[in-house]
Amino acid sequence: MLQGSTEPFVIVHSFSCEDRAMDWKTKIEKAERIVPLVSHFAQIGLFMLTAWGLFYTVIPLYQKAAVDEQVAKQQAELAGLSARLRASYVKIRGQSVLQFVTFAGPACTGLLTPVSDEPPPEGQDFESQALKTDVRSCLLEQMKHSPPIGELNQSDLAAFIAEVDKIGMRANAARLAASMEVSELRPADPTKGPVAIGRFSERALVEMKQMGASDQQLADAKRKMSLNYQKDKIVSRYTDEARKEILRLRAMTWPDSPNPN
């Protein structure tokens, strides 16, 4: 009975071990099938993650770098173009001012007074015209007839007008001083010593004497010539000073230029 009762136990125990072995084998086979799938999915996921990172990080960074490089290149080209345009403008501005002073200087100091073979009417001679011309008003009027000056930019034009105004006032002060000096002139008396009349007038006196002019006529002519000679010296000194003032416009400091002081 005892011997017969042990056989079923051994058989049952044997089947139980076999079942466990089969179960583990099945699990291992399943795992062997699942692991490659998981690996494939992992590779796919890694590829997708890599693609996402490339699309959303690397490519935008590359595009940004390319755009930045293009922008920097265009900015450099724009800066070069601006510099060339600025240089051209400065050159044209200088030429415009030179043209202005070339014509305004003579026009505003009486040098354009018409010359005639006949003696000019009273007050129409060069000296009288030079002393009557208001330099400041004349310069401002000349600006209206100078198209290049009108092409200056707004800040340069304002600075130019202000400089013309200052130069005109200084020239007018010199003009008024010269006018006062001329008004105080008195004819020199040839009987009291040498009288300066200039070489041209001296030759004219010689010709008058050769033509038979009396001593009184020569003395009267010499007094008048002396007066004109003194007036001419005063006016010439004034007009030289006024033209030098006008020429200062060529060296004026513009709003965008460094102050030399």
pLDDT tens readout for residues 80-117 = 888 888 899 999 999 999 999 999 999 999 887 766 55
225 to 145, 179, 189, 212, 254: CA distances (angstroms): 38, 18, 11, 18, 47
pLDDT value, residue 19: 64
* Structural domain includes residue 28: no
**Is-contact 135 171, C-beta < 8 A?**
yes
**Other C-beta atoms lying within 10 Å of the C-beta of residue 128:** 19
Nearest to 235, CA basis, from 188, 163, 181:
181
How many angstroms separate the CA atoms of 261 and 248, rounded? 16
Higher pLDDT among residues 11 and 161, named by residue: 161
* Structural domain includes residue 125: yes
Count up the domains in the chain and report the number: 1
pLDDT value, residue 210: 77
Instruction: Record the pTM.
Output: 0.63
> Is pLDDT above 80 for 181?
yes
Most trustworthy range by pLDDT among 143-157, 178-192, 198-212: 143-157
* Structural domain includes residue 8: no
* Structural domain includes residue 9: no
Say how many residues make up the chain.
261
* Structural domain includes residue 162: yes
* Structural domain includes residue 179: yes
> Is pLDDT above 80 for 148?
yes
